[in-house]
Structure 1
Amino acid sequence: MTTNTVQYKYKEGNLSRSEPNKLRPENLRSEEMIVNLGPQHPSTHGVLRLEVLLDGEIVQDVVPHIGYLHRCFEKHAENLPYNQIIPFVDRLDYVASMNNEHAYAMGVERMLGIADQIPKRVEYIRVLVAELNRIASHFIAIGTYGMDIGAFTPFFWIMRDREHILRLLEWASGARLLYNYIWIGGLFYDLPVGFEERCREFVQYIKPKLQELDDVLLQNKIFIDRTANVGVLPLDLAINAGVTGPVLRGSGLRFDLRRVDGYSVYPELEFDVPVGEGKMGNVGDCWDRTYVRYRELHESIRIIEQCLVQLTGDHQRTRDFDPQALVPKKIRPKAQDFYVRAEIPKGELGFFFRADGRNDIPFRCKCRSCSFVNLSVLPEISKGILIADLIAIIGSIDVVMGEVDR
């Protein structure tokens, strides 16, 4: 057994740090070996390295290694004015950039005391594009997850349908993935003329496609066999570990910040919060987490339809509407510590700010990454499983490494 790539030793059921690149074979039982999964592996959904202790095909322990995509977001943020940080926020969860921008802009607006002055049309547009981006993010999560365990056709369907959303968001912002559209105090620009009609066409198009996705993937016997009763995350462990989003709701807790905190115009909108119910296995298994994301697609469509009603009714475009009217020329919050959180597709994204009251650059900016926290439960729910099931568990957590490494 080679010893030049192993960084941990195994002793009495736990992996513990040893000297770099050293392994003591006497601490391994006869059939045990350490295998590196990733960082260049499609099933890890990015540059994530898992050091897996195997006894045959049985996983004894898992140690995630991160830091291969470190972007220095927080240090960048502490050297730039508040308004220039938004393009860096886009690059955290880069498949849900609108949701990231919404959380960040809302936090700075609350620090400035202008959150209550944001025009309702701006708020409805923000929710509209954020929910479109939520659908696109869940499409990636479900499609790539199906491909991880052998279902190729749903992935091609989902990527085809996701393209409609990306074209809509590109039409509004001018960018395909990293939008810089939601600004502090407003928006980069109002929606293009005809956007609402095109968005309605997309809603009518996507509804039957979601039913096809359910029939072909989620109700497929092979998919159920691969995900039901696999990677069960008990509710008490989920709460103690601090996981959020579909990973937490898949374990049965109806906790969604759009309801709990009621930010933006979400309190004025009707939508449900899906939770895992153990329909195919135990509550909190891989199937439940995936089904929660699938049900959230339907709820996001409900929200989008209500936003379109408002944007073409009471809060329709007018000739004198300026989405940048409240964008401050100089952003200088008073000295304070402030934390804001929002529900992005993967869970709670939070930003902590420390302002010194003297300049327009945050003295401290800390990001609370939901992907980082959700990944922390992987070792706890992976012991004693087959290595093939480890792939199923990773995909069900739905991590994005740009947000993990920040």
Structure 2
Amino acid sequence: MSASNYATERETAEGKVFTVTGGDWDVVLSGTDPINDERIVVNMGPQHPSTHGVLRLVLELEGETVRELRSVVGYLHTGIEKNMEFRNWVQGSAFVTRMDYLAPLFNETAYSLAVEKLLGIEEQITERATTIRVLMMELNRISSHLVWVATTAMELGAINMMLYGFREREYVLEIFELITGLRMNHAYVRPGGVAQDVPDEAITKIRDFLKLMPKKLAEYEKMLSGQPIWLERTQNVGVLDATGCLAMGVTGPVLRSAGLAWDLRKTMPYCGYETYEFDVPTHTDGDVWGRYLVRLAEIRESLKLVEQAVDRLRPGPVMVADRKIAWPAQLAIGVDGMGNSLEHVAKIMGQSMESLIHHFKLVTEGFRVPPGQVYVGIEAPRGELGVHAVSDGGTRPYRVHYREPSFVNLQALPAMAEGGLIADVIAGGASLDPVMGGCDR
């Protein structure tokens, strides 16, 4: 049933019928006693404040109490997964990075790990490239959690936290720009490694950030953790226990705030996470307050991981040696920053005709991936981010499907909100940290 032609009938125990008809919602028909038994249907969203993106919530209210909640998604649909079927395997990195736009480097890494598994080159990924991936993902986890605490605090009335959270996030984006050339949507992590190496000035800026961030976290806690209104709006609000999380496939900080220390970096390690020292923060209350504490603790653990990754960086290549796979990262760019350099063109033209033909096919088609299918899961800021990639042996994906935690976690919102107040829908929904770019991919 489409959201644009939403219609439903609900019959109460008293035999009364409530009907919502028309385009989205128009009329609520009650029984003969509209004062004592009145229910109304309202839209919350789709807009960014209160629903964390273009998410539409259809609420059936009795006074200020939520009796029923329905999530309506699709307003940001991009068709990224389908578009990837018409691009080569390397170009896929530029598509997936735009899904969860607050965690682009996780999208890219999960995709690259899946392609590398299909190619059978997992053992050929260089140590420096793997370390850089961990470094970038943990910086990205910090920036994502900063956006969460900033926007959630703003939606609950702590406007000043919005300024502080985005201020520190800006520092991380400046680091990304130094390394990848872009603040967001990087297409930096690619099958075979990463697009380019980390410059020395970025390392200096990262070390400065490691000194700065613990002080800022202490400021956040001083500002929020003891604030009576913040406590009132978060404690015992949006409660979802571990059983409910497991029943609905909820992962990430929401699951860990319910007491279950499930983190794929520990339980199903990848990118060498098993060789790093870090803890998995948990809480037991399973409410908005617990999710707030877990995310702040995860920022501290990510800082520890970033420091270890920086200390581990050793000179070496950042892409596999196979030139068919490494080709995009080995191009020599012209002085205009767009076309190939004259030296690169001369080198290609000066080789044999077979080499020129091979280069042309590589440019136009990309490399071939053996037929097969794989699933790879990683721990993204919102939970398990999984990639199911299928190859038919060609130069383009036959199918790439993401298991996106924003989409999966959203189904828990009715369980968290129904029976509570309408104001708590905002707090509970924000605590899931949904990003609709990933949900509507």
Query: When the two structures are superposed, what TM-score results if normalisation uses the length of structure 2?
Result: 0.84
* 2:120 alignment counterpart: 113
* 2:416 alignment counterpart: 381
1:197-245 CA deviation, whole Å, 9 max, x = no partner?
A: 2211110011111111112113322111111001110211100100111
Cα distance in 2 for partners of 1:56, 1:18 equals 18
Which residue of 331, 334, 337 corresponds with 2:373?
337
Question: For residues 364 and 18 of structure 1, do their structure 2 counterparts lie closer, same or farther at Cα, with a shift above 3 Å needed?
Answer: farther
Question: How far does residue 23 in structure 1 lie from its aligned partner after superposition?
Answer: 4.8
1:97 aligns with 2:104: yes
Gaps of 5+ in 2: 328-365
Question: For residues 16 and 293 of structure 1, do their structure 2 counterparts lie closer, same or farther at Cα, with a shift above 3 Å needed?
Answer: farther
How large is the Cα RMSD of the aligned pairs? 2.1
Question: How far does residue 10 in structure 1 lie from its aligned partner after superposition?
Answer: 3.5
* 1:361 alignment counterpart: 396
Name the aligned partner's letter for residue 368 of structure 2.
R
Question: For residues 104 and 5 of structure 1, do their structure 2 counterparts lie closer, same or farther at Cα, with a shift above 3 Å needed?
Answer: closer
Cα distance in 1 for partners of 2:251, 2:383 equals 5
1:346 aligns with 2:382: yes
Q: Once the two structures are aligned, what percentage of the paired residues are identical?
A: 40
Cα distance in 2 for partners of 1:333, 1:364 equals 13
Residue pairs, 1:307-326, within 5 angstroms: 307-311=309-313, 315=314, 317=315, 321=317, 323=319, 325-326=321-322
Moved more, 25-34 or 188-197: 25-34
Question: For residues 360 and 393 of structure 1, do their structure 2 counterparts lie closer, same or farther at Cα, with a shift above 3 Å needed?
Answer: same
Question: How far does residue 79 in structure 1 lie from its aligned partner after superposition?
Answer: 1.4
Name the aligned partner's letter for residue 308 of structure 1.
V
The SS at the match of 1:157 is helix
Moved more, 325-334 or 127-136: 325-334
Cα distance in 2 for partners of 1:162, 1:8 equals 43
Larger CA Rg, structure 1 vs 2: 2
Question: For residues 79 and 274 of structure 1, do their structure 2 counterparts lie closer, same or farther at Cα, with a shift above 3 Å needed?
Answer: same
Cα distance in 2 for partners of 1:364, 1:5 equals 31
Which residue of 26, 29, 34 corresponds with 1:25?
29
The SS at the match of 1:379 is helix
Cα distance in 2 for partners of 1:202, 1:404 equals 31
Cα distance in 2 for partners of 1:177, 1:324 equals 25
Question: For residues 32 and 204 of structure 1, do their structure 2 counterparts lie closer, same or farther at Cα, with a shift above 3 Å needed?
Answer: same
Tell me, yes or no, if the aligned pair for 1:173 and 1:189 is still in contact at 8 Å. Answer: yes
The SS at the match of 1:25 is coil
Gaps of 5+ in 1: 278-282
Cα distance in 2 for partners of 1:227, 1:284 equals 11
Question: How far does residue 11 in structure 1 lie from its aligned partner after superposition?
Answer: 3.0
* 1:231 alignment counterpart: 238
Tell me, yes or no, if the aligned pair for 1:8 and 1:23 is still in contact at 8 Å. Answer: no
Cα distance in 2 for partners of 1:209, 1:374 equals 29
Question: How far does residue 182 in structure 1 lie from its aligned partner after superposition?
Answer: 0.7
Cα distance in 1 for partners of 2:234, 2:382 equals 19
* 1:48 alignment counterpart: 55
Question: How far does residue 106 in structure 1 lie from its aligned partner after superposition?
Answer: 0.9
